[in-house]
């Protein structure tokens, strides 16, 4: 009997490892050959990785550390910048497999792992680099450690939980919802002893110690990351309730979890009977409800609730183990959506657009800028927008790395306002890259202004990149004459 059980365990793991190898190899090929430029945020994260710190304007430091690690191994190509996604998602899937096997059995574990690695959100995110990459892993690891700690009460499991929580907070602040979910489960399951367990509080202390350097960095810089997080969550002014934002968020969850899996999740929540349902609901519903309320009262992107789908995948997999045809259909739907994310030509044709348009053209813009830069080698890149500055620091490197934000009033709008300055550049020449004409206040700060070229990339009849370049001679300083 034991040998049969061990054989099933090993067989499930072997199938999963083979599946992960095939899927990851395919995704690596897509990223390597797709020819897609870095998105604005990805380029900015790469810029952060050039100067590692405990925090940045809009995010904690984990994303920069991951990019610094991957690019130190294979260089600064788009593939290497994004390589962290190709590494972390298989690790998250393996951790989910171990968690599911502990809660259920090898069969449910394999079903859950296959569903997770093919989730539309995971498929799309695997071809990019974002803060969700590390967040998914540390959330899954923390849930695994939490389950182990509740069973064993071993110091090692509680300390692993604390480390995972702290590293998750260094990845994305929404990791804090884990504490809410854990408390909900403790209360619902009436496991009140956890609240009095010194080892559980030791885990909380460890997580705080791991996260502390980012708090220290924010304190030194007047808490820009927390302020930015609050600002984007607040959304646009207007009515108190933003039903349109809520509708977009709810609709976006079909793209996150799957057009079939999301309805099945609702069914499993309401009608499904399985072990550990209270645990899995505790780590699914609070996250979804919190972000849904955020969307209703402000603004929320579809991916903000992504970690909820770790426990949700387990919940659906446990229910689907007795519904093989439904599992096969849901898995096929996930794979189809993933393929369309990588090869969107059929959708492009139907929608008369280019779904990858925002990931194209910046390499051309960078080459055109460098051609102009060669004519004025001492001029410094200047831009009045985060997008163009982010892209040019990467695609016009190394000159782009000298780029400065046009910020004469010393505001704090984005990362480049935080780390670049005009204060020490009196007498310098600049190449201003901007859409349209230069800002109205620029001429008074310089001895002369001259248009010297334009940057253009035609991506699609409905989408093009176009910027003008101006030579600004002899910066007079921040104080207007």
Rounded Cα–Cα distance for residues 65 and 228 (Å): 21
CB 44, CB 420: distance < 8 Å: no
pLDDT in the model for residue 298: 84
Q: What is the pTM of this model?
A: 0.93
9 pLDDT band, cuts 50/70/90, is low
Looking up tokens 């892209």 gives 391
Q: Which pLDDT score is estimated for 242?
A: 84
* Tens of pLDDT, residues 188-245: 999 999 999 999 999 999 999 999 999 999 999 888 887 777 766 665 555 678 889 9
Q: How confident is the model at residue 5 (pLDDT cuts 50, 70, 90)?
A: very low
Residue that the structure tokens 């909380």 belong to: 204
The answer to whether residue 7 scores a pLDDT higher than 70 is no
| pLDDT of res. 238 | 57
What pLDDT does 235 receive? 57
Q: What is the rounded average pLDDT of the residues 142-167?
A: 98
The neighbour count for residue 213, using CB atoms within 10 Å, is 16
Dist CA 118 CA 89 (whole Å): 10
**Contact between 313 and 268 (Cβ < 8 Å):** no
Residues 6+ apart with CB under 8 A from 6: none
Which backbone phi and psi does 473 adopt, to 5 degrees? -95, 135
Evaluate whether 374 touches 423 at the Cβ level (below 8 Å): no
Task: Provide CB contacts within 8 A for 111, sequence distance 6+.
Answer: 317, 320, 321, 327
Mention every residue, 6+ apart, whose C-beta is less than 8 A from residue 456.
365, 368, 464, 465, 466, 467
Nearest in space to 289 (alpha carbons), one of 258, 246, 319: 246
- pLDDT higher for 381 or 324? 381
Task: State the average pLDDT over residues 354-361.
Answer: 95
Distance separating alpha carbons of residues 141 and 136, to the nearest angstrom: 9
Task: Quickly state the pLDDT bin for 2 (edges 50, 70, 90).
Answer: very low
Mean pLDDT of the chain: 92
- The C-alpha R_g of the chain, in whole angstroms, comes to 25
The 10s digit of each residue's pLDDT in 254-290 is 989 989 999 999 998 988 778 899 999 999 999 999 9
How many whole angstroms separate alpha carbon 249 and alpha carbon 292? 7
- Are 81 and 46 contacting, i.e. CB atoms less than 8 angstroms apart? yes
Q: Tell me, rounded to whole angstroms, the distance of Cα 197 from its chain centroid.
A: 34
Is residue 64 within 8 Å of residue 21, measured between CB atoms? Answer: no
pLDDT at 481 over 70: no
Alpha carbons 256 and 124: distance in angstroms, whole number: 9
Q: Do residues 242 and 293 lie in contact, with contact meaning Cβ atoms separated by under 8 Å?
A: no
Q: φ, ψ for residue 437 (rounded to 5)? A: -85, 170
Confidence bin at 72 (pLDDT 50/70/90): very high
Q: Where are the domains of the chain?
A: 2-343, 358-475
d(CA 417, CA 407): 7
Could you tell me what percent of the chain has a pLDDT over 90? 83
pLDDT above 70 coverage of the chain, percent:
95
407-444 per-position pLDDT tens digit: 998 888 889 999 999 999 999 999 999 998 898 889 89
């Amino acid at each position: 009997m034991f040998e049969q059980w061990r054989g099933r365990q090993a067989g499930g793991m072997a199938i999963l490892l083979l599946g992960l190898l095939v899927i990851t190899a395919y995704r690596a090929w897509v990223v390597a050959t797709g020819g897609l430029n870095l998105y604005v945020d990805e380029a900015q994260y790469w810029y952060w990785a050039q100067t590692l710190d405990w925090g940045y304007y809009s995010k904690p430091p984990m994303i920069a550390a991951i990019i610094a690690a991957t690019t130190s191994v294979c260089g600064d190509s788009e593939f290497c910048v994004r390589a962290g996604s190709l590494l972390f998602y298989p690790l998250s899937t393996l951790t989910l497999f171990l968690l599911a096997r502990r809660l259920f059995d090898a069969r449910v574990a394999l079903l859950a792992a296959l569903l997770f690695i093919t989730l539309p959100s995971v498929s799309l995110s695997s071809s990019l680099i974002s803060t969700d990459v590390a967040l998914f892993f540390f959330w899954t690891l923390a849930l695994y450690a939490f389950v182990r700690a509740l069973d064993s009460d071993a110091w090692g499991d509680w300390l692993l939980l604390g480390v995972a929580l702290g590293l998750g907070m260094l990845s994305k602040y929404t990791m804090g919802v884990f504490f809410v979910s854990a408390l909900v489960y403790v209360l619902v399951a009436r496991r009140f002893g956890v609240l009095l367990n010194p080892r559980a509080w030791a885990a909380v202390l460890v997580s705080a110690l791991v996260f502390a350097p980012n708090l220290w960095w924010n304190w030194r810089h007047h808490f820009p990351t927390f302020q930015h997080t609050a600002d984007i969550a607040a959304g646009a002014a207007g009515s108190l309730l933003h039903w349109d934002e809520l509708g977009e968020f709810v609709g976006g969850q079909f793209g996150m979890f799957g057009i079939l899996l999301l309805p099945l999740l609702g069914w499993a929540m309401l009608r499904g009977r399985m072990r550990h349902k209270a645990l899995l609901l505790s780590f699914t519903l609070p996250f979804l409800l919190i972000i849904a309320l955020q969307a209703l009262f402000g603004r929320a992107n579809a991916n903000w609730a992504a970690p909820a789908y770790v426990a949700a995948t387990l919940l659906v997999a446990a229910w689907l183990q007795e519904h093989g045809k439904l599992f096969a259909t849901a898995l096929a739907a996930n794979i189809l959506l993933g393929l369309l994310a990588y090869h969107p030509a059929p959708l492009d044709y139907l929608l008369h657009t280019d779904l990858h348009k925002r990931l194209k053209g910046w390499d051309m813009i960078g080459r055109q800028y460098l051609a102009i830069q060669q004519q004025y080698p001492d001029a410094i890149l200047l831009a009045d927008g985060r997008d163009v500055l982010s892209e040019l620091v990467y695609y016009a490197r190394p000159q782009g790395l000298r780029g400065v934000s046009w910020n004469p009033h010393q505001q704090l709008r984005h990362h480049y306002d935080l780390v670049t300055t005009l204060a020490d550049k009196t007498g310098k020449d600049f190449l201003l890259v901007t859409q349209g004409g230069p800002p109205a206040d620029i001429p008074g700060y310089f001895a002369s202004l001259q248009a010297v070229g334009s940057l253009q990339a035609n991506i699609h009849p409905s989408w093009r990149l176009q910027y003008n370049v101006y030579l600004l001679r002899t910066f007079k300083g921040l104080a207007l004459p």
